[in-house]
């Protein structure tokens, strides 16, 4: 009798010390493995429960995948009585026509594709979206069974859970993207598309910003180096001085990004290239914070090399930084709880208050200016124009 269980293949470790998580099909004393796409450390897998440790979302997806394989295994054994050929059994379990793919299978496959490409942030969004949506509607169905009414019902159920409009929008956009990819891969035709008549709602959010006066108070705060908030205070200053740099990008800045008196880097999220003049005040902070591998000393070399866990590490460190910034905000009586987000958008708001154009501000922050079509034909502003604007805004809070 054939059995199927989730297990960690510990026969050979990968270069980063992880092992592949597999579904093992066993017939008597022989077995074959079906990969799940997960590569994890031994301590991340619970042998007693055959599940990932502290990862509810992934366990839900793996349970759904296991249910699918068990269903196909039962069908195979019923149609091939007495046949114990593991090779043909595995081929039956994993090979199918495009129309046979369930939404869950296709979604999980896309998540693993993103991970393979090193896009762990995108994989996390799709993973979370799949976990949330699969709790409300059945995704273990072919795409052809999904219709417009199911989409509308899903949105209503998410609202009933008390989710915000924008929060729901994140999950629905992930779902819509998966449907688009299914069409692209010819799993379903264009005529099927259930999102054709459905518009994903979006609400404007209240900007979390502080004024020039409050930012000046932050920069002029007198903190001793031995103060546990001191390094975080410097990080906040750098975010603002580097034109509202994203905290992830700031953490990843290495000495290679410092070239001819400029910080030159690509934003991790968009691939947009930035070139920022390093002013003396910035250099002083870099001199205090830099380590052997990064300019701000937040991430260690081993953490940077751990690509599978890097996003998780960055998220945790950002939480700590935001907790410290919130405490600093109390010291300057900030009306808005301080966070890395506040520094980025306060930079843009202060520029706007000082009369700079939206196009110039967009260029400084790396956003598209004008519409997406005309933006293609417009040259970027010269670096010296952005440098001059940045210098003036920094002098205004000095």
The per-residue pLDDT of the chain, averaged, comes to 87
Instruction: Give the per-residue pLDDT at 173.
Output: 95
- Quick: pLDDT tens for 226-240: 999 999 999 999 999
Q: Can you give the pLDDT at residue 28?
A: 86
Q: What is the pLDDT of residue 69?
A: 86
The CATH homologous superfamily for domain 212-396 is: Intergrase catalytic core (1.10.443.10)
Q: What is the pLDDT of residues 326-352, one digit of tens each?
A: 999 999 999 999 999 999 889 989 999
* Domain locations along the chain: 1-95, 99-205, 212-396
pLDDT value of position 95: 67
82 torsion bin: left (phi>0), alpha (psi -120 to 50), beta (else) = left
Topology (CATH level 3) of domain 99-205: DNA polymerase; domain 1 (1.10.150)
Residue 191 pLDDT greater than 50, yes or no: yes
**Between 119 and 299, the higher pLDDT residue:** 299
Rounded Cα distance between 209 and 390, Å, is 18
Confidence of residue 96 (pLDDT cuts 50, 70, 90): low
Q: Is the pLDDT of residue 103 over 70?
A: yes
∠ CA 56-14-31, nearest 5°, is: 75
pLDDT tens digit sequence for 362-382: 878 776 554 443 343 334 456
Find, among 211, 181, 208, the residue nearest to 195 by Cα.
Answer: 181
> What confidence tens digit (pLDDT) does each residue in 41-89 have?
899 999 888 899 888 878 887 888 888 888 888 888 888 877 778 888 8
CA distance 391 to 277: 9
Cα–Cα distance measured from residue 363 to residue 382, given in angstroms and rounded to the nearest whole number: 10
Phi, psi of 76 (to 5 degrees): -65, -50
The answer on pLDDT for 98 being more than 80 is no
Q: What is the pTM of this model?
A: 0.62
Q: Given a cut of 80, is residue 207 above it in pLDDT?
A: no
Give percent of the chain with pLDDT exceeding 90: 49
Q: How far is CA 334 from CA 217, 240, 319, 397, in A?
A: 9, 16, 19, 15
Please determine, for residue 274, whether its predicted confidence score (pLDDT) is greater than 70.
yes
For the cut 80, the answer to whether the pLDDT of residue 308 exceeds it is no
Residue 104: which pLDDT band, with cuts at 50, 70 and 90? very high
Is the per-residue pLDDT at 390 higher than 50? yes
Stretch among 117-131, 284-298, 375-389 having the lowest mean pLDDT: 375-389
């Amino acid at each position: 009798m054939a059995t199927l269980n989730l297990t960690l293949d510990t026969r050979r470790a990968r270069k980063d010390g992880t092992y592949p998580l597999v579904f093992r099909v066993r017939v008597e004393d022989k077995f074959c493995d079906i990969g799940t796409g997960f590569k994890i450390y031994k301590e991340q897998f619970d042998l007693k429960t055959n599940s990932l440790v502290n990862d509810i979302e992934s366990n839900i997806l793996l349970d759904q995948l296991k249910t699918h394989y068990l269903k196909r295994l039962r069908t195979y054994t019923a149609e091939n009585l007495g046949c114990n050929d593991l090779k043909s059994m595995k081929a039956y379990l994993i090979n199918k026509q495009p129309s046979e793919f369930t939404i869950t299978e296709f979604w999980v496959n896309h998540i693993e594709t993103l991970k393979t490409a090193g896009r762990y942030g995108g994989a996390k969004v799709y993973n979370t979206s799949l976990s949330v949506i699969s709790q409300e509607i059945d995704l273990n169905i072919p795409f052809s069974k999904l219709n417009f009414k199911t989409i509308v019902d899903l949105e209503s159920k998410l609202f009933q859970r008390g989710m915000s409009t924008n929060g729901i929008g994140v999950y629905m956009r992930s779902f819509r993207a998966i449907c688009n990819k299914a069409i692209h891969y010819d799993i379903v035709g264009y005529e099927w598309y259930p999102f054709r008549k459905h518009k994903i709602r979006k609400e404007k959010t209240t900007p979390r910003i502080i004024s020039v006066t409050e930012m000046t108070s932050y920069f002029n705060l007198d903190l001793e180096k031995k103060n546990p908030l001191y390094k975080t205070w410097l990080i906040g200053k750098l975010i603002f001085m580097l034109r509202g740099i994203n905290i992830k990008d700031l953490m990843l800045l290495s000495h290679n990004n410092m070239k001819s008196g400029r910080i030159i880097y690509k934003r991790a999220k968009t691939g947009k290239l930035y070139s920022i003049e390093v002013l003396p005040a910035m250099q002083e902070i870099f001199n205090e914070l830099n380590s052997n591998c990064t300019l701000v000393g937040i991430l260690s070399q081993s953490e940077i090399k751990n690509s599978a866990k890097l996003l998780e590490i960055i998220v945790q460190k950002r939480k700590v930084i935001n907790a410290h910034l919130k405490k600093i905000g109390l010291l300057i009586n900030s009306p808005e709880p301080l966070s890395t987000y506040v520094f980025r958008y306060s930079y843009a708001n202060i520029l706007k208050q000082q009369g700079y154009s939206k196009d110039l501000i967009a260029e400084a922050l790396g956003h598209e200016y004008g519409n997406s079509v005309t933006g293609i034909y417009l040259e970027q502003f010269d670096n010296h124009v952005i440098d001059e604007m940045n210098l003036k805004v920094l002098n205004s809070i000095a």
